[in-house]
Structure 1
């Protein structure tokens, strides 16, 4: 099931694992490529677990429509409420080390449905994206099915824990 709002899209899936297990997978940047499943997210540059708001983790990316094909994003943790919620802003690190964010966020909300099941909602929000970026990037930059597929990948990873 997914919903598309004016400025965000979300999907929800029940995962057969405790919330703490699901949260542990989400806080591990090395799992994000497998969770994404599109081939856009390549490899975690920063492999340390996500433990605090403000923490930055970089990911190697690939997209056929990107001017360079291969590029890197810098994500900054915005929400970290174990084992209930985790979210981050996506941007880029400039040559001088300054971070610049595009205005879109990824967020996972976890609701325990008992000791071994968790309802996971993944939300992609672009409400803070300035018009200058909207002029050349269509939002959302993927079909709504992407979020559902991503949650299924997460469920598979969690099942292997």
Structure 2
């Protein structure tokens, strides 16, 4: 992979503000995560903004904790965070003609400290599968709001 990004999109029958509120609340991230790796929100603000730091309990074979920093933020439109290895998770929201939202989730390792290692790790494929499971969960939660 040369662009070092994997993305998937879904249309949600809820306005961008509703979807964004779910993404901006780190306590909801375990509910949204389809990969099964995000287990709990352990620290941070109730609502994220640019520069916010939040801790998450994770499990990938073994349990661990990770601290993320919000590095991109545009209210109702864009939010992205990274952790110490510097790869990013990004959500872009576009309003649709029917009042809904087109959500694109991206795993971007072009900004990682060791992108070549991620290239060889299998994480891009695993994360693409995780995105494919996360987006329907986000859709269901937003549409139920």
TM-score (norm 1): 0.80
| Structure 1: runs of 5+ lacking an equivalent | 91-100
Q: CA deviation at 1:147?
A: 1.1
Q: Please give the alpha-carbon distance, in whole angstroms, between the structure 2 residues aligned to 1:14 and 1:60.
A: 29
Deviation at 1:134, TM superposition (A): 1.2
SS at match of 1:106: strand
User: Which residue of structure 1 aligns with residue 143 of structure 2?
Assistant: 159
Give how far 1:133 is off. Answer: 7.7
Alignment partners' CA distance in 1, 2:68 and 2:31? 17
Structure 1 residue 81 displacement after superposition: 0.6
Structure 2 unaligned blocks of 5 or more: none
CA distance in 2, matches of 1:13, 1:21: 15
Normalized against structure 2, the TM-score is what?
0.88
Report the equivalent of 2:134.
150
Q: Distance in 1 between matches of 2:94 and 2:32?
A: 19
Query: Retained in 2: the 8 A contact 1:13–1:148?
Result: no
Contact 1:18 1:115 in 2 (8 A): no
Return the structure number with greater helix share.
2
> 1:109 and 1:48, CA in 2 relative to 1: closer, same or farther beyond 3 A?
same
After superposition, the CA RMSD in angstroms is 2.2
